[in-house]
Structures are given as C-alpha cells and as structure tokens.
Amino acid sequence: MSGTVMATLFGTDGIRGPVGTYPMTEQGIRDVANAIARFFLKHRNIRQVLIARDTRASGELFERAAGEGVIAAGSDAAVAGVLPTPGAAYLCRRHGTGGIVLSASHNPAGDNGIKVILENGQKASSADEALIERMLADRAEFSDSLIDEDLRGTVIHAAAWTEEYAAFLEENCTSAAREWLSSHAVVLDCANGAASSLGGTLLARLGARAELLGASPDGKNINRECGATHPGAIVKATVDHKAAAGFAFDGDADRVIAVDENGALVDGDRIMLILAGYLKRRGKLLRGTVVATDYSNLGLRQALSALGCSLVTVPNGDRHVAERMRALGCALGGEQSGHIVLMPEHTTGDGLLTMLMLLNAMADSGKPLSALHAGFHEAPQVLLSVVVREKRELASLAGVQRAMRDACEKLRESGRVVVRYSGTEMVCRVMVEAPSKGAAERWARTIAAEVSREVGR
C-alpha cells in the first residue's frame, strides 16, 4: 500500500485530511474504498456500495478512484455524484447498500474525507471503522492487473437516485408549511456545497419564494466565506430581503444554522428547543427527552426544563447523539453546530430535513421564528481552539488538569468546563460557560494557555 497508514485514520466523523497527503490521494482513496467494500462483503454480506461526494475539486478524481477500489473488491459501485451526506444515508437505507461519502464537511476545499454509511443508513461505528482499518493494513496495495476480470464488480450510474431523496424531503413538509411558504420569503446559503442544486430546487417545488446564496460551486469555493461556518452572509441577506427566515448549510449539508426575521442566529441548541416544543405539542417527542452533546449551552437544559422536557448529553459528534437516541428511544437530538437528528424520519443529521421541520413548526405555531426561540437564555460561553503538535492524554497534562480543577471549583453549578481534542483536526477545544462573559474568557484562556504550554505547536 502506498504511503504510510496512520495508527488511527478515522476521527469523530470519518477520515479527513489535506488532499495530496495519504490517504487523501488517488491511491489512498482507492485503497480505503477497497477495504470498505471488503468490509461490507465479509461482515455485512453487502455487495453494492453507493458512492457520493460534495463539490470539491478533488471530488471527481476521488469518485473514480473509490469506484475502482469498490469494483476491484468484487462489489458494484453505485455512483450518485454530488449528494448531501444525509441523502446518501437515506438511499443506503432505502436500497440496502453500503455507502461511501467523499466529503470533508465544513473544512476548506483543500481538504477531503471519507464517511462510511451502513446499509441501515447509520454511520459506521468505531468498531466497524477499526475493522476497516485492519482490512486496509492487512493487504498490500492492490494492482488492477492482478485482478481477474470475471471477479470485478460493475459501475452503476445512480445519479437518478437523488430524486428519491428529494421526494422523501418533500413528504416531510406539511401542507400548512407549503401554504406558509407561498406567502413568506426565505433565504438559503448552500455553502457552494452539496446542497447547491437540491436546496433551491426543493423549495421551488414546495412553492417557496427563495433567495439563494452560495449556490455556484466551482470546486474551490466550498465553505469559503459562506454557509453555516460563516453566517455573516445569511444574516445580511435575510435582513436585506426582509425574509421570514434564512438557512445556512455546511459543505455536505448534514447541518444547518437558521436566522430569524430580525437577523438573529438560531443555532443547533435553539433549533432543538423549537423542535422539542413542536414535537411535544404533536405528541411525538418520545420519552420527553432531547439528546445533545457536552458543548450545548446550559441555557438549553433550562429552557427544555421549562417545557417539561429533559436533556441527556453525550460526547461531541452526531454519531454519538444518534447512538444514544436509538438506545433511549428518543426522537430528537443534535449538536450546537447544527447537526440535528430526527427519528424515526432519518438516521443521521440532515440540514435540509431540519429546515423543513423548522418551517413546519413556524407554520404550525403561526408565530415568527424569533418568538419560537425567545425562551432560550444563553449562558455566556467561550470556545477556544488550541493548535497542538500531539494528542497526549489530557489526564496526563498536570497543568491543564490543575487549571480545570480550579475553574470547576470556582464555577460550581453556575458554569461548565469541557476540554477535548478535535476528532478531525490537530486542535484541542476548550469550552467554558460562566455567569459572565468575562469570567468565561478568563478561565478559558487560562486553561488554553496550559494546553498550549504542554502540547501546543
């Protein structure tokens, strides 16, 4: 196998890295896709693998390489082209196929990645990923010339499958929401990513008056000053167009950030609060519980409590959210960043589905979006990212542990401290909530300084 395989390729959301560095090379993608196909054959008896991608310049080359890897394993490659990650998850469940999504989500165009979707529409577990890595490490780089033509799989052109996903989304928009859309303007920022074509088409089919931003991908502008990670554009456009709401997706459209009619951001925490109220009114908030991550603001727990709902938290990552939701039998969960999981409608975070559910909630209530999240009172929160040279166990960093203890003892029940390494980048996240912004900043900077001193780059 060309290049050097890291001890652990998979992070919190698949494999991700700069294009040109293994495994984000043509041969690396071919190797990994081949291992994924062999995993599906051996461990799940699946002989067809859906391949989807976002709009990065490296996507077409990697799509071909992934297809080659899959058919060399003796499996069929169903090539769907540009498709949101949740669209691939929906289609994998519908057709019973395995799935490979080539995307680096919210990362810049110079990165790419691989996400593995199971035939039930769920993201591969960490145990599944470990099996794939083992299969990758146990086999030398394959040569096309050594593979018997009779043992190869075939390529299936599956671009038309996108219509099935679009139909699924339409089915989840209520008649009341369609009527609401006919008389209200909305703005979409598609991040020049996977939702660029589908987002506008979907709203047009629903009869909406929609203004589109970030819907002209050129391979290099995905997530560039647009989308969920750069909400300034959607805020301005929503206000300028006097729209009732704005929605900004990330590169693979598995998350969304909303903007109300006043230009205020409605992040994942606020979205979960709104949808919790909507589902509860309809008797669909199973167990009366919402699942979120440790990064969700204290204000979410307080606002849900006022609704008579409870909150369960898990480590960062929408995969962890979905796993806990399935274990508890919950219908709603998500992340502050805008990954929202809605069960039983879907198996993973879906920005377009979340947008439609918010529109359903607005139409059902007859209230503006600003009124629906007015009950959320955000605790001051500071999140810092420290670039690190290595990811040593945090428990072994004496200075970091001391600073964290000091902060927790001081804040007690009035705040929180969360320190974790990113699963997709060489950074350490330091999040502090406190009664005041100043206190949160002081403690966050104190802890971040210790992280930098001990493992900073």
Which positions are annotated as active-site residues? 105
Positive/negative CA dihedral, 84, 90, 91, 93: positive
3-state SS of 417-428? Answer: EEEEECCCCCEE
| Gap between the terminal Cα atoms of the chain | 30
Q: Is 371 helix (H, G, I), strand (E, B) or coil?
A: helix
Of 109, 58, 100, 112, give the one whose Cα is nearest residue 214: 109
Of 71, 77, 73, 69, give the one whose Cα is nearest residue 49: 77
Beta-strand relationship, 209-213 and 185-189? parallel
Cβ contacts of 22 within 8 Å, gap of 6 or more: 2, 3, 4, 5, 28
Of 375, 369, 331, give the one whose Cα is nearest residue 353: 331
How far is the CA of 427 from the CAs of 84, 128, 313, 395, 404, in angstroms? 26, 25, 22, 16, 18
Q: What is the C-alpha separation between 348 and 59, in angstroms, rounded?
A: 22
Q: What is the C-alpha separation between 222 and 54, in angstroms, rounded?
A: 9
Q: What is the C-alpha separation between 202 and 432, in angstroms, rounded?
A: 39
